[in-house]
Amino acid sequence: MNELKNFLDFALDLTKVSDAEILPRYQNTSISTKPDGTEVTEADQEAERVIREKIEATYPGHSILGEEHGVKEQTDSPYQWVIDPVDGTAWFTLGMATFGTLIALLEHGEPILGVIHFPVLEETVYASKGNGCWFQPRNGMLKQVKVEPIKSLKEAVASASGPHGSDFFLDGCPVGYNLTGLINEARKFRFCTDCLQHALVCRGRVHVGLDPVMNPWDSAAIIPCVEEAGGIVSTASGVRENVAFSGSLLTTSSPELHEEVVKLLQPR
């Protein structure tokens, strides 16, 4: 338990290291395009570089996986850090404040802690396995947070990160989830940015968060936060096993709601 607390304290410290590279470049950064067509900024690259350097100095035996600098494998350790300093780069490049920094630690491939940090908003949601989910607001008291256990979609606030991978816009994805149905059936629907929607699920503000297309660095930090807040996590097809590496993410606030949403989302 003490080791897990030390890992979590270290992960929270990493957000300060990352902030020092990200915030000076907020609304003032160079943008380039990667071979896959997605945007990348100097803030993404430099923040990941300093995070990796600190991990390597503190835990040299641990593996590291990041969006910008790939994987550093260490076969003799069960631990792997999975990082995305700027989750929501598209929003960051537009000068929007709702992008996040994601830091997770996996043990044998399963996330055991996660940090969802919002540098500009100065808010952080974080969790470690068995220790609950916590929210640190700007200039406020740290408090434990839980999902609001809404059981029916007609009572729920639902969100998706965008139309990609859905019946609106496949964008080369093999599955087009029924986003139209989710929009029509939810009490309220909004497009939220990337990790923000899942942080809001943890806090009981949103009840369904959908990301039809995800990478491990997008998902890993979110999973322990939602589960420690009492929520349910799976792929958009309803599979929990190895969900961090499974290509999509659905978070909800109750088993009943989760079952309803999974059934609705499947392609018609």
The H or E element spanning position 135 is strand 133-136
Asked if residue 203 has pLDDT above 70, the reply is yes
Determine the topology of domain 153-265 in CATH. D-Maltodextrin-Binding Protein; domain 2 (3.40.190)
DSSP 3-state assignment of 198?
helix
Q: How far apart are CA 229 and CA 180, in angstroms?
A: 28
153-167 confidence digits (pLDDT tens): 999 999 999 998 898
Instruction: List, in order, residues 6 or more apart from 172 with CB less than 8 Å away.
Output: none
Instruction: List, in order, residues 6 or more apart from 190 with CB less than 8 Å away.
Output: 157, 158, 159
For domain 2-130, which architecture applies?
A: 2-Layer Sandwich (3.30)
Contact 210, 250 (CB under 8 A): yes
115-124 confidence digits (pLDDT tens): 999 999 999 9
Mean pLDDT of the chain, nearest integer: 93
Domain ranges of the chain: 2-130, 153-265
pLDDT band at 172 (very low <50, low <70, confident <90, very high): low
Q: How far apart are CA 125 and CA 131, in angstroms?
A: 13
Q: How far apart are CA 266 and CA 88, in angstroms?
A: 26
pLDDT, greater one: 33 or 135? 135
CATH fold match for the domains 2-130 and 153-265: no
Contact 258, 250 (CB under 8 A): yes
Q: What is the pTM of this model?
A: 0.94
